[in-house]
Amino acid sequence: MEIYLKRIPQLLSLSLAACLLFAGCGGDQPGGSKEMNFVRVRLAAEPDYINPIITVNAYSRMVFSGMYQSLLDFDPYTMELVPVLATGRPIIENIDSGPYAGGISYTFEIRPEADWDDGRPITGEDIAFTLKTYFHPGIPLAAPGRSVLESFVDVVADPNNPKEFTIVSNTRYFLGEAAIGTLSILPAHVYDPDGVLKKVPMADWNNPEKAAAMTEASPELAAFAEKFMNSAGGRAPSDHLGSGPYSLVSWETGQRIILKRKANWWADKVTPSGPGLRAYPDSLVYVIIQDQTTAVTALKAQEIDVMTQIDAKEYVNLLQDENFKSMFTLHNPEVFQVYYIGINMKNPKLNDKRVRRAVAQSLDIDALIDQLFFGLAKRVVGPFHPAKSLYNKDLKLLSYDPDQARALLKEAGWEDTNGNGTVDKNIGGQLTELELDYLTTAGSTMGQNIALLFQQNAAKSGIKINIQSLNPDVMRQSLDNRTFELFGRGWSTDGLPDDPSQYWARASDRPGGGNYFGFGTEESDSLIEQIKVTMDDEARNKLYYRLQEIIYDEQPCIFLLAPQERIAISNRFKARTSATRPSFFVSDFELQE
């Protein structure tokens, strides 16, 4: 099941390259030699891009997190915001007068050592450029990030210090510091050497209508977007210049992505070196293996060092394998992740909430957890993680009940009139069977198994499920175009309260937006807007509870479970796991002596 919600080429030495490119160096791998200080990580799917502005793909993030950095980041072990590019957390001040009265400002200073790969210093200009790029209407793939950045209307540089600047928000957004602090920064001088975006004030970019009109009227702005997309979506090392510890060496489609540690990374001069400022391995190799069985075989052969999302049955078997445990350590941390089956509410078959409720009651989720996850998961009633205080525990988990599902379908006009076992209804003058295409990610054993169980269960309610296993790009296109009926996916979050606007606001129901379901009412939109500006946790939680009640009533998804992650990490490394996806942080892996 796919999870989502985000230069100078350096050559490997010949001997190390042989190990990396052929994903194995024989029986010497478990040793502690510094020559073996590379980590091979299995990717279950091909990343779409490795530019943080134009992707929210979890596999892409695993790769680009070593290449790009942010002002702040979450310590993966404590969940606290800690400085990375910034010298510290920002000075935060309420704005009580002027055009942005009622807003808030965040003043940061970038570390004096922080620079780009070409030696140019990282400054407030880079932050302003990155924000403006998110709002450029010619870069539609940046749209998912706009919903959490829309309140930021200006970046004011300190005239005496280019590394100090103030970001202005026109509202007191409850996640403002985290949203702006954890934004991956791109170099303005590389992507915009002519300063095209610099000529336009941030407030104009923040206005969608004005930004669209400007872009349409300016060949220069349109050309910038085209050039940016070509470069950002590229796979050559020269397309990616960041401030992180690793640079891209190569990307072989369907095979591997190789990153090499920089010889003169700026953070090597910083002490003490906290999270986000450490990078122990010399090289990172992301090996793309979609098939679960093939991946486990490679793991057992020590051809990869790290594997996550191990099939639960296989994970339980590995726990009993003493030979395997002599080579690997197994981890199963609780993770901030929710699995779900999305429903297209605008599809004529599914636009009645009684039908959607019937579909939801046609999957035995308890059996799914027992049989497919071997108990390593917890049921959920909505889109938020049950470990968070904002989760509405008062909502009742839906039961698997084929009889109740058939009754709901009958109430909505669906009955089996031709005796073929599938309910039907006259829609637009044509007899229509309740036959639903269910999209799942190709190569995902878990996703396929969930789909098969759903298919078997739903038949008892008179619903026919057709399983379509698609590669991630094709599936993404179907979701963006809203041509699907059902799909399986997952959300990844962090320990912070969630901003529901990306997936639940009606404004996000558009190509590139995260509201694939067509969900939304005036009340839900109002609640989402209130959540974003309510600073008090208790008051905000009440808004979350009501929003979940509306989502529960409308049933835009079948909410499945919050899993425990299943990870194997080679004993060659000292490594810790975390509740934050991907639950391991490969730059923090230390080679065992």
Question: Beta 81-83 vs 337-343: how paired, if at all?
Answer: unpaired
d(CA 222, CA 215): 6
* Beta carbons of 39 and 587 less than 8 angstroms apart: no
pLDDT on residue 1 = 61
Query: Residue 152 gets which letter from DSSP?
Result: E
Query: Residue 398 gets which letter from DSSP?
Result: P
Q: Please name every residue paired with 285 in a beta bridge, in sequence order, or none if there are none.
A: 40, 258
d(CA 5, CA 493): 6
- At 437, is the secondary structure helix, strand, or coil? strand
Q: Please name every residue paired with 82 in a beta bridge, in sequence order, or none if there are none.
A: 73
Select from 434, 440, 389, 429 the least CA-distant residue to 416.
434
Query: Residue 56 gets which letter from DSSP?
Result: -
Tokens encoding 21: 């490119």
d(CA 5, CA 55): 10
Tokens encoding 472: 């991630």
d(CA 417, CA 462): 11
Tokens encoding 437: 């295409």
pLDDT on residue 444 = 83
* Beta carbons of 97 and 168 less than 8 angstroms apart: no
Q: Give the E-state strand segments of 486-575 in sequence order.
A: 486-492, 557-563, 567-570, 573-574
Provide CB contacts within 8 A for 119, sequence distance 6+. none
Provide CB contacts within 8 A for 316, sequence distance 6+. 374
Around 556, how many Cα atoms within 13 Å sit in the side-chain half-sphere? 22
* Beta carbons of 488 and 1 less than 8 angstroms apart: yes
Other Cβ atoms closer than 10 A to 101: 10
d(CA 66, CA 111): 18
Q: Which residues of 439-455 are buried (b: 16+ CB within 10 A; e: fewer)?
A: bbbbbbbbbbbbbebbb
Question: Beta 3-4 vs 486-492: how paired, if at all?
Answer: parallel
* Beta carbons of 583 and 565 less than 8 angstroms apart: yes
Per CATH, the homologous superfamily of domain 337-563 is: Dipeptide-binding Protein; Domain 3 (3.10.105.10)
Q: Please name every residue paired with 558 in a beta bridge, in sequence order, or none if there are none.
A: 341
Topology (CATH level 3) of domain 7-67+244-333+566-593: D-Maltodextrin-Binding Protein; domain 2 (3.40.190)
Q: Which residues of 556-590 are buried (b: 16+ CB within 10 A; e: fewer)?
A: bbbbbbbbbbbbbbbebbebebbbbbbbbbbbbbe
One-letter amino acid identity for 328? F
One-letter amino acid identity for 304? I
Domain boundaries, the chain: 7-67+244-333+566-593, 68-225, 337-563
Tokens encoding 443: 């190569």
DSSP assignment of 310-363, as one string?
Answer: --HHHHHHHHT-HHHHHHEEEE--B-SEEEEEEE-TTSTTT-SHHHHHHHHTTS
Select from 386, 397, 381 the least CA-distant residue to 548.
381
| Element housing 430 (H / E) | strand 430-433
Provide CB contacts within 8 A for 169, sequence distance 6+. 100, 103, 104, 105, 106, 151, 152, 153, 176, 180
Class of domain 68-225: alpha beta
d(CA 448, CA 345): 23
3-state secondary structure 337-349: EEEEEEECCCCCC
pLDDT tens-digit profile, the chain (593 residues): 655 442 222 222 222 332 333 333 333 333 334 568 999 999 999 999 999 999 888 899 999 999 999 999 988 888 889 999 999 999 999 999 999 999 999 999 999 999 998 899 999 999 999 999 999 999 988 887 887 898 999 999 999 999 999 999 999 999 999 999 999 999 999 999 999 999 999 989 888 899 999 999 999 999 999 999 998 889 999 999 999 999 999 999 999 999 999 999 999 999 877 788 999 999 999 999 999 999 999 999 999 999 998 989 999 999 999 999 999 999 999 889 999 999 999 999 999 999 999 999 999 999 999 999 999 999 999 999 999 999 999 999 999 999 999 999 999 999 999 999 999 999 999 999 999 999 999 888 889 999 999 999 999 999 999 999 998 889 989 999 999 999 999 988 888 899 999 899 999 998 878 899 999 999 999 999 999 999 999 999 999 999 999 999 999 999 999 999 999 999 999 999 988 888 999 999 999 98
Same fold, 7-67+244-333+566-593 and 68-225: no
Select from 296, 497, 477, 528 the least CA-distant residue to 384.
497
Q: To the nearest 10°, report the CA torsion of 376, 64, 284, 14.
A: 150
Q: To the nearest 10°, report the CA torsion of 86, 87, 89, 91.
A: -100
pLDDT on residue 452 = 97
Strand order of the β-sheet with 152-158 is 91-94, 104-109, 161-169, 152-158
Instruction: State phi, psi for 86 to the nearest 5 degrees.
Output: -80, 155
Select from 404, 409, 516 the least CA-distant residue to 464.
409
3-state secondary structure 40-70: EEEECCCCCCCCCCCCCEHHHHHHHCCCCCE
d(CA 75, CA 528): 27
pLDDT on residue 2 = 55
- At 251, is the secondary structure helix, strand, or coil? strand
* Beta carbons of 62 and 50 less than 8 angstroms apart: no
pLDDT on residue 35 = 62
Apex CA 125: angle with CA 123 and CA 128, to 5°?
125
